[in-house]
Amino acid sequence: GNSVTQMEGPVTLSEEAFLTINCTYTATGYPSLFWYVQYPGEGLQLLLKATKADDKGSNKGFEATYRKETTSFHLEKGSVQVSDSAVYFCALSDLFSGGSNYKLTFGKGTLLTVNP
Amino acid sequence: ETGVTQTPRHLVMGMTNKKSLKCEQHLGHNAMYWYKQSAKKPLELMFVYNFKEQTENNSVPSRFSPECPNSSHLFLHLHTLQPEDSALYLCASSQERGTGSTDTQYFGPGTRLTVL
């Protein structure tokens, strides 16, 4: 079945450091790819998405490019802030088994802590 | 972000109690979802509703009983739960288009459930 693998955390950085969180996926067909962020005590918020190969999603200084050849969707930010401390989830959309509905398959999440 | 609201935010219950979780979406979407987020597992999809009809049940035990009276409201009725059911329960909604990749899912803040 489809799956998402993202780098294990936790990741600890100093403010203004460069961030990369790796994400690779296994899927049949061409799913949409997502990064969601979960701040402490809150639900998931969509950070960015890409719907086809070579698309680049971007938001709040974060970027990720849909790479079909490497089946990857790595999250990057050039200069992190303390307020970026959160758990980041990579996800793909796929069909629910045998059905016509789509569901999100998530990676396990990566905890990012940014220190001042 | 108040597009998807969940109540209560925190719930503590004994194994013999009956309680319900409520989700309401104000986005005009036609699909709603329940997810379970526990400490040691990736996010797990539990149920999917399209246009008030349950379209998917992801092998969830019968002690969890969903109800979707209309496209804006979703409930999760709980009875005789086990301590291992303690988790964050997240509700989400989306606008299903029927073809192509799924549209973005918007999440509520979650209900933190503790079963004693």
Q: Is the pLDDT of residue B5 over 90?
A: yes
Mean pLDDT calculated for residue range A45-66: 95
SS (H, E, C) chain B: CCCEEEECCEEEECCCCEEEEEEEECCCCCEEEEEEECCCCCCEEEEEEECCEEEEECCCCCCEEEEEEECCEEEEEEECCCHHHCEEEEEEEECCCCCCCCCCCEECCCEEEEEC
Average pLDDT, chain A: 91
CA distance A35 to chain B (A): 11
Q: What is the pLDDT of residue A26?
A: 94
Q: Helix or strand or coil: residue A82?
A: helix
Chain B, nearest residue to A5 by Cα: B42
User: Once rounded to an integer, what is the mean pLDDT over residues B62-81?
Assistant: 93
Selected residue of A102, A105, A108, A111 to mutate for chain B interface (largest B Cβ count, 10 A): A102
Residue B65 has pLDDT above 80, yes or no: yes
The pLDDT-based confidence of B114 (bands split at 50, 70, 90) is: very high
Q: How many CB atoms lie within 10 A of CB A54?
A: 10
Q: Does A1 touch chain B (CB under 8 A)?
A: no
Sort out which chain B residues have CB atoms less than 8 A from A39's CB and list them: none
* B29 and A CB contact within 8 Å: no
- Chain A environment of B101 (Cβ under 8 Å): 30-32, 51, 93, 102
Which of the two residues, A43 and B50, has the higher pLDDT score?
A: A43
Which among A82, A77, A86 has a CA at the least distance from the CA of A111?
A86
Which residues lie below 8 Å from residue A52, measured CB to CB, with a gap of 6+? A30, A66
Give pLDDT, residue A57: 96
Asked if A27 has any chain B CB less than 8 Å from its own CB, the reply is: no
> How far is A63 from chain B, CA to nearest CA, in Å?
17
* Cβ pair B42:A109 closer than 8 A: yes
Give B106's contacts in chain A (Cβ within 8 Å). Answer: 46
Q: Does B2 touch chain A (CB under 8 A)?
A: no
* B90, B96, B107 member nearest A101 (Cβ): B96
pLDDT in the model for residue B100? 41
pLDDT for residue A53: 92
